[in-house]
Structure 1
Amino acid sequence: MATVKKIEYESGKKTWQVRWREDGKQRMKNFSRAKDANDFKISIEASQRDGTYVSPSKMLVEDYFKKWLTYKKGSLSDKTYSSYESTTAAMGEVIGKIQLQKLTVTDIESLYNDLRADGLSGTSCNYYHRILKQSLKQALKDRLIQFNPADLAQPIPKDKFKAEIIHPDMVKTFLSYFSGAEIETAVYLSLFLGLRRAEVCGLQWHDINFKTRVITVRRTLHYKEGEYFHLPTKSKQTRQIPFTLGVAKKLKEEIRSQAKYRKHFAESYVKNKYVCVHRNGMQFIPEYVSHSYTNIKGPAFENIRYHDLRHTAATLMLYHGADIKTVSAILGHSSITITGDIYLHALEDMKRTAIDALDQYMETSDKIVQFKRSV
């Protein structure tokens, strides 16, 4: 139960003091108007009755972010945690000095607009929104705030993603750049089977069944602070992917190549069970694959990132008649909606190009008709 006490000073100044008990302690707050004091009294009593009362706190947003990250660390992968850490740090530069309980919808929308003005993409701004909304949801659950202002803030719309792909007519030219390179087999696995780079690095020989021509994707491989470690796939599920005779041929070439270099390096050769390795047998790490790929690809493929090989694989499968559910399963997407959103527009572009190419036959037909008439 809260009470309001009127206090008059010798100077003639009047103050209305609200007193209430919280966690067994006496609390008080002064107001210059009786109405404000009574409104606050009613608010305190109502929130204490319905369980929504939040203790006053001067905790800053930047301090709350640190507390939240500590709470989240155990449930996140190192990569995701680093992303959360850098994202909250960037947001903290703008809203970090604001008291958590005073953070408003306007503050948040101003943050998004500032980030956008600094050149951050709509997709990245939307990611920041999701992280902020998630962190404040925990603050609400912990009764540090009375409501989540991020729920009401208008996020920046995501950019419409358009996957870059290698045109079918250019695939052989593209592959010619990687002939004999250490990462040639890795490129084949991503381009023709849609494997992510960390999945390529984690692939082991016992994951490959040459008799049934099926690869089982079980893990990803990563490297941090001098240590290699495995993580589950992005979808946290094992998936099986059939492979072609051409991929089988390339994998058998890799076996022969590793045998040759094992003999060359002799005792210094690193013996392990990975499919994609350096000449000395040491397994690849994802960062090496991307770096090496960037240095080798030709100028005609400047805009094609390593991850775009996966996009190309998916688009080519769809173009050649695979249904979207099958392609989604091969890629390891959590739903076919993701697959459709990413790749169907590219498929439509390819269909348009194929149809437009038929004009050449119409032009030829016109010439034949004209020739017959002249005869």
Structure 2
Amino acid sequence: MGTLYYTGQELLEDKKRGKFRGRLSYRDTNNKRRYITRTLNATGKRAANAELAAWRQEKEREHSESLDRSGGISLPVADTPISDYVSQYIDAKERTKAIEPSTISSYRDSLRYIAATFSETRIKDLQPIDAEKWIAELVKEDRSPSTIGKAFRLLKMVLNNAIATGVIDKNPLSLVKPPKRVNKKQGINALDETALAELLDKLSLLELSPVTVAAYIALNTGIRRGEVCGLQWRDIDADNRVIWIRRSIGLGKGGAYIKQPKTDKARDVVLPDTLLEVLEQWQEKQRQTFADNMASLNPNSFILGDALGYYHPDRLSKDWASLTKMLGTRGTEGRRLSFHDLRHTWATLALAHGMDVKTVSSNLGHANAAMTLNVYASADPDAKRRAAGIVECLMRCDQSTNR
């Protein structure tokens, strides 16, 4: 047969489904290793190996015939297997640094679900019915609507790219819808005013530490976990009573890294006097800790970090979970308070006490005020009662005027 195109083969056991899968590897035009997989019919290992060998011979023959038809030229892009095309798309985005490493990592997670079904299907052959069967299979495997939705959106986006580059004429996923997301956590688990006061009382009895200072920052500003971890002392403008949000700590394939805030631009949030007092006390304590480790606290030092760098967002979440378990703090939904719920608490109370939505949106770092309203419009349980009272008052005033 000459030089083999598929340079490797593996037999994979899918224990969850009780089946075997075959995997072949080859090198693309950039000499990068690629894979195609196939679910085998055989139930025994020996028979599965034989079926895998036969499939490999079949794929070698198909490749040889395609080269004969094209005069030795590689397959057209439209004949590329879907999983390969998606993988190449992600690789290109990663090389050009067009998107964040955390997004690349998420794409690669979703690629697994695409490759499991579409490792052999060519881009030009994909039909809406194929996508519907794919989604049905993922639902059958008990994948969450969120997981399915991410994989669906990635594939749809890549196919739109294929249209833009002239590979295909239309997107078959335009006629397909993923399953609706089910909100397992009903409502926003914020703190009401009474619970917030109780939490602040409990925090005041504790020694200042990275996790307690982080809680004070989140409760007073509403900024995100990664943004809290990314704060440096130079971001504190005590004279003008503002905090500058200039960076965030993101999570990617290689671990945590420093990135731009979510909206890719710096913003300022108000620095309340009570928070300033906490930060001043913490700065003195941190300065002593640095000195004990033969280091100097400087404007570029991370507020929650140590002499080696920033406070890892995952560590913050774990430390906060341990603290709330000890304190027994729960939100309006009855669940134990997550660190992100502190952000929800700031936003719901700010809106409930009349802060305009544009200001709230700016503090939160939302792209626009509509996003803020979509998330928090119904978060305040007393909002409807207050609204009804306002309307009733207006109507009574109008009736009194007309008499």
- Contact 1:271/1:281, CA 8 A, preserved across alignment: no
Closer, same or farther: CA 336–119 of 1 in aligned 2, 3 Å: farther
Cα RMSD, aligned residues only: 3.1
Given the two structures, how large is their TM-score scaled by the length of structure 1? 0.72
* Whole-Å separation in 2 of the counterparts to 1:341 and 1:322: 16
Alignment of 1:351 onto 2:383: yes
Closer, same or farther: CA 243–177 of 1 in aligned 2, 3 Å: closer
* Whole-Å separation in 1 of the counterparts to 2:114 and 2:153: 12
Match of 2:63 in 1: none
Identity %: 24
Alignment of 1:83 onto 2:106: yes
Closer, same or farther: CA 144–226 of 1 in aligned 2, 3 Å: closer
Alignment of 1:273 onto 2:296: no
- Contact 1:191/1:309, CA 8 A, preserved across alignment: yes
Match of 1:252 in 2: 280
Aligned-partner SS, 2:379: helix
Matched length: 305
* Whole-Å separation in 2 of the counterparts to 1:131 and 1:223: 19
Match of 1:69 in 2: 90
Residues 50-72 of structure 1, C-alpha deviations (whole Å, 9 max, x = no match): xxxx9685422221121111222
Aligned-partner SS, 2:269: strand
Deviation at 1:315, TM superposition (A): 0.7
Residues 118-165 of structure 1, C-alpha deviations (whole Å, 9 max, x = no match): 444434433332211111112223333332111111232344573221
> Structure 2 regions of 5+ residues with no counterpart?
1-67, 389-403
Pairing partner for 1:327 from 342, 355, 360: 360
Closer, same or farther: CA 82–321 of 1 in aligned 2, 3 Å: same
Alignment of 1:306 onto 2:329: no
**Segment of structure 1 superposing worse, 177-186 or 210-219:** 177-186
Closer, same or farther: CA 208–300 of 1 in aligned 2, 3 Å: closer
> Structure 1 regions of 5+ residues with no counterpart?
1-24, 28-53, 357-375
- Contact 1:328/1:339, CA 8 A, preserved across alignment: yes
- Contact 1:269/1:281, CA 8 A, preserved across alignment: no
* Whole-Å separation in 2 of the counterparts to 1:194 and 1:82: 26
- Contact 1:223/1:285, CA 8 A, preserved across alignment: no
Match of 1:137 in 2: 160
- Contact 1:262/1:281, CA 8 A, preserved across alignment: no
- Contact 1:202/1:219, CA 8 A, preserved across alignment: yes
Aligned-partner SS, 2:116: helix
- Specify the code of the residue in structure 2 equivalent to 1:297: T
* Whole-Å separation in 2 of the counterparts to 1:269 and 1:224: 30
* Whole-Å separation in 2 of the counterparts to 1:270 and 1:242: 24
Residues 98-133 of structure 1, C-alpha deviations (whole Å, 9 max, x = no match): 222221111112222333344444344333322111
Closer, same or farther: CA 61–307 of 1 in aligned 2, 3 Å: same
* Whole-Å separation in 2 of the counterparts to 1:253 and 1:131: 47
Aligned-partner SS, 1:274: coil
Closer, same or farther: CA 102–303 of 1 in aligned 2, 3 Å: farther
Match of 1:163 in 2: 188
Residues 280-309 of structure 1, C-alpha deviations (whole Å, 9 max, x = no match): 674212122112112221244354322221
Task: Please tell me whether Structure 1 or Structure 2 has the larger radius of gyration of its CA atoms.
Answer: 1
1:134-213 paired onto structure 2 within 5 Å: 134-159=157-182, 162-175=187-200, 176=202, 179-180=206-207, 181-213=209-241
* Whole-Å separation in 2 of the counterparts to 1:64 and 1:225: 21
Alignment of 1:342 onto 2:367: no
- Specify the code of the residue in structure 2 equivalent to 1:200: V
Given the two structures, how large is their TM-score scaled by the length of structure 2? 0.67
* Whole-Å separation in 1 of the counterparts to 2:69 and 2:136: 42
Alignment of 1:93 onto 2:116: yes
Aligned-partner SS, 1:230: strand
Closer, same or farther: CA 260–63 of 1 in aligned 2, 3 Å: same
Aligned-partner SS, 1:250: helix
